[in-house]
Amino acid sequence: MSGYKNRSFFARLGFALQGLAHGVRAERSLRAQLLAFAAALAALAILRPPALWWALVLLSSAAVLAAELFNTAIERLADELHPEHHPGIRIAKDCAAAGVLIAALGALAVGLALLLHLVMK
């Protein structure tokens, strides 16, 4: 495992893509978030808001997807290190899930602000 940092950019990119593929295969919530992201992209294409709104929606969507992947990593690591029930592990997993919730609520707020902007225009 040592030497991950010294691998080529393409090797590290491959590791990241493997992680993304695992998350998509293993996590229903990540697949749901990807569908929401696709819907957001479709809405942007239809509504054609200014570039700033594209940036806000894309950035908030990326934050949700990243949070989902971090949550997956924390849950997997916790399960591997401590498979039996443990209150501290539960708290760590709950906090990771709360991070996803906060990111998703932030993305939803951006979407609602965009709709309000377009209606008030």
pLDDT, tens digit, for every residue of 24-54?
Answer: 999 999 999 999 999 999 999 999 999 999 9
Q: Which residues of 68-104 are buried (b: 16+ CB within 10 A; e: fewer)?
A: bbebbebbeebeeeeeeeeeebeebeeebbebbeebb
Report d(CA 94, CA 28) in Å as an integer: 17
Q: Which two tokens stand for residue 35?
A: 């569908």
Q: How far is CA 15 from CA 5, 12, 22, 60, in A?
A: 11, 5, 11, 24
Q: Which two tokens stand for residue 89?
A: 């592990």
Q: Is 48 left (phi over 0), alpha (psi -120 to 50) or beta?
A: left
The domain spans of the chain are 28-120
pLDDT at position 4 is 73
Q: Do residues 68 and 98 lie in contact, with contact meaning Cβ atoms separated by under 8 Å?
A: no
Enzyme catalytic residues: 68
Whether domain 28-120 has CATH 3.40.50.300: no
pLDDT digits (tens, 9 = 90+) for 86-116: 999 999 999 999 999 999 999 999 999 999 9
